[in-house]
Amino acid sequence: MNEHPVQLVVDDDLQRNRLTVFFRLLLAIPHFVWVFLWSIAVVFAAIANWVATLASGTPPAGLHRFMCKYIRYVSHLNAYIWLVANPYPGFVGEEGDYPVDVKLPPPAEQDRLKTLVLIILAIPALLVSATLGGAGSLRVPYRGTYGRYGGGANGALAGVCSVLGWFAILVRGRMPKGLRDAGAYSVGYTAQMLAYVLLVTDRYPNADPTAMLVTVPRPPQHPVYLVGDAHDLRHSRVLVFFRLPLAIPHLVWLALWTIAAVIVGILNWFATLFSGTPARGFHRFLAAYVRYSLHVSSFIYLAANPFPGFTGEQGRYPLDVVLPEPQRQNRWVTGFRFILAIPAFLVNSALGSALFVAAVLTWFVALGTGSAPWGLRNLSAYALRYGAQVNAYLFLLTEQYPHASPLEGADEPQESYDEVA
């Protein structure tokens, strides 16, 4: 896949000033006023740019520069508000003067037919952008049959991560890398969406996190991670069209298994508190449940195509999860496990919205083409991976906290995580 013409550049500085973070929203008030006024001007400029591009096939150079400055400024402001970057941003959207920046392409010829129906074509990208960076509400995560992997979740990802990061920074003076990476991903996708809507480029936004965060170092490998055939995007149109009816037996079985998993999870909690290590039989049962939950969610949300089995057997589904063997765990962390997991529940809730939108969009695309879009599939895999890590943490399959970074972990073994989420 060719590199997207809108590229996000992120430095790796996680240090934050506690004082400016504490007053971040108050300090940003002048920017809120300025971006509001600038956005009004952009609406009129966008209409003129649309008409000119329809007439000539290429956006006028002056309007193109104006749009690029606006997109860059919005990206700087988003990075500042969402705690992805620390310095106070400028007001003019200059390239290269902020730690989180956006590289934008020069004016180029664009397809007139696509330009004509631009707003309709942009609707899917606007929906994805709303789940990543839009104004969402921080509600308690949905706890339905498969709610830990999404469905009914609320809250935009960047907003949730910035709130959690705010507390973490006040305590530690630095932004957790996972939360920073998730916020940077939201900044980048928002920039690509704006560039498409404002005719800076006719290249559609790419939801693939790995393509978005090419300048960001990968985190260490988490002990809970996904494996499978990443390049097989083929989908049977019949299975796609009847996906929800076909999933009914799995939803019933998963609901029953969830009841048993909760009971076994409580017993495992007492056993781990007493011995310091999860009971091997409980661990095996809960690992199969977490794996089965991932298989079912992957099927329902169109991250994988085949009909899954009912046993959660390892290696029997195209998208699978690796889980660690029972290991000794800190009793204090075990005792307060559910309370400690609340930040992860909130991040998972926000990712659930993105997962749901990605699944709906994938359903339409797969019906037409017989294949899932690469970017949406990788966004879904990110949400599913985090959901599996949350379940594994909650059921004491691992002591490592879920890592919110959209990037796959590096191959080197993990030593420790000092993340909030």
Instruction: Classify 232 as helix, strand or coil.
Output: coil
Provide the Cα torsion 26, 189, 355, 124; round to 10°.
110
Torsion 160-162-164-167 (CA) sign? negative
Q: Characterise 260 by phi-psi region: left (phi > 0), alpha (psi -120 to 50), beta (else).
A: alpha
Looking at residue 230, its pLDDT comes to 67
389 against 140, higher pLDDT: 389
Q: How many CA atoms lie within 13 A of 293 on its CB side?
A: 29
CA distances in angstroms from 307 to 54, 91, 274, 298, listed in the order given: 46, 52, 40, 10
Provide the Cα torsion 418, 213, 78, 378; round to 10°.
-90
Pick from 218, 179, 176, 173: which is nearest to 414 by CA? 218
pLDDT digits (tens, 9 = 90+) for 37-63: 999 999 999 999 999 999 999 999 999
The rounded distance, in Å, linking the Cα atoms of 384 and 182 is 14
- Predicted confidence (pLDDT) at residue 241 exceeds the cutoff of 80: yes
Total-model pTM: 0.90
Looking at residue 231, its pLDDT comes to 73
Task: Give the mean pLDDT of 251-277.
Answer: 96
What is the H or E stretch that residue 226 is in? strand 225-228
Which residues in 41-68 are b (16+ Cβ under 10 Å) and which e?
A: ebeebbeebbebbeeeeebbeebbebbb
What contacts 91, CB < 8 A, 6 or more positions away? 30, 31, 34, 73
The rounded distance, in Å, linking the Cα atoms of 410 and 413 is 8
Confirm if 407 and 209 have CB atoms less than 8 A apart: yes
Split at pLDDT 50, 70, 90, the class of 276 is: very high
Split at pLDDT 50, 70, 90, the class of 1 is: low
pLDDT digits (tens, 9 = 90+) for 113-145: 999 999 999 999 999 999 998 643 333 333 333
Looking at residue 413, its pLDDT comes to 43
